[in-house]
Amino acid sequence: MAWRFALLIEPAASDESRTDFADTLTPIDPSAPALSIGELSTQRGDGIFESIGVVDAHPQEVQAHLERLAHSAQVCDLPAPNLAQWAQAVSVAAAQCPPGECVIKLILSRGVEHGPAPTAWVTVASAADNTAARENGVRVVVLDRGFDSGAPARAPWLLLGAKTLSYAPNMAALREARRRGADDAVFVSSDGVLLEGPTSSLVLRQGDRFVTPAPGAGILHGTTQLSLFAHLEDRGFETAYETLPTAALLEADAAWLVSSVRLAAGITAVDDAPLPYDPAFTRELNDYLLSPRS
Amino acid sequence: MAWRFALLIEPAASDESRTDFADTLTPIDPSAPALSIGELSTQRGDGIFESIGVVDAHPQEVQAHLERLAHSAQVCDLPAPNLAQWAQAVSVAAAQCPPGECVIKLILSRGVEHGPAPTAWVTVASAADNTAARENGVRVVVLDRGFDSGAPARAPWLLLGAKTLSYAPNMAALREARRRGADDAVFVSSDGVLLEGPTSSLVLRQGDRFVTPAPGAGILHGTTQLSLFAHLEDRGFETAYETLPTAALLEADAAWLVSSVRLAAGITAVDDAPLPYDPAFTRELNDYLLSPRS
B148, A190: Cβ pair inside 8 Å? yes
Q: Give all domains of chain B, ordered by start, each with its CATH number.
A: 3-126 (3.30.470.10), 131-290 (3.20.10.10)
B42, A28: Cβ pair inside 8 Å? no
Q: pLDDT per residue over B172-202, tens digit each? A: 999 999 999 999 999 999 999 999 999 999 9
Contacts with B147 from chain A: Cβ below 8 Å: 146-147, 151, 190
pLDDT at A28 over 90: yes
Contacts with B35 from chain A: Cβ below 8 Å: 33-37, 39, 42
Q: How far is A233 from chain B (nearest CA, A)?
A: 34
Q: Chain B: residue nearest A152 by CA?
A: B146
A147, B151: Cβ pair inside 8 Å? yes
B35, A36: Cβ pair inside 8 Å? yes
Task: Pick out chain B residues at pLDDT < 70.
Answer: 1
A6, B33: Cβ pair inside 8 Å? no
- Residue A280 makes CB contacts below 8 A (sequence gap 6+) with none
Look at residue B215 in the predicted model and tell me its pLDDT. 84
Q: Chain A: residue nearest B163 by CA?
A: A44
DSSP 8-class letter at B149: T
Mean pLDDT, residues A141-149: 96
Question: ipTM score here?
Answer: 0.95
Q: Chain B: residue nearest A28 by CA?
A: B37
A249 Rama class: left (phi>0) / alpha (psi -120 to 50) / beta: alpha
Report chain B's C-alpha Rg in angstroms. 19
Q: What share of chain A is helix, strand, coil (3-state, %, to 5)?
A: 30, 30, 40
A37, B148: Cβ pair inside 8 Å? no
Q: pLDDT per residue over A173-202, tens digit each? A: 999 999 999 999 999 999 999 999 999 999
Q: Chain B: residue nearest A48 by CA?
A: B43
B30, A38: Cβ pair inside 8 Å? yes
B37, A46: Cβ pair inside 8 Å? no
Confidence of residue A1 (pLDDT cuts 50, 70, 90): low
| Torsion, CA A151, CA B158, CA B114, CA B106, rounded to 10 | 110
Look at residue B114 in the predicted model and tell me its pLDDT. 80
Rounded Cα distance, A44 and A251, in Å: 40
Rounded Cα distance, A176 and A229, in Å: 30
Please check whether residue B201 is in contact with residue A198, taking contact to mean a CB–CB distance below 8 angstroms. no
Please check whether residue A228 is in contact with residue A258, taking contact to mean a CB–CB distance below 8 angstroms. yes
Mean pLDDT, residues A163-178: 96
Q: How far is B293 from chain A (nearest CA, A)?
A: 26
Q: pLDDT per residue over A207-249, tens digit each? A: 999 999 998 778 888 999 999 999 999 999 999 999 999 999 9
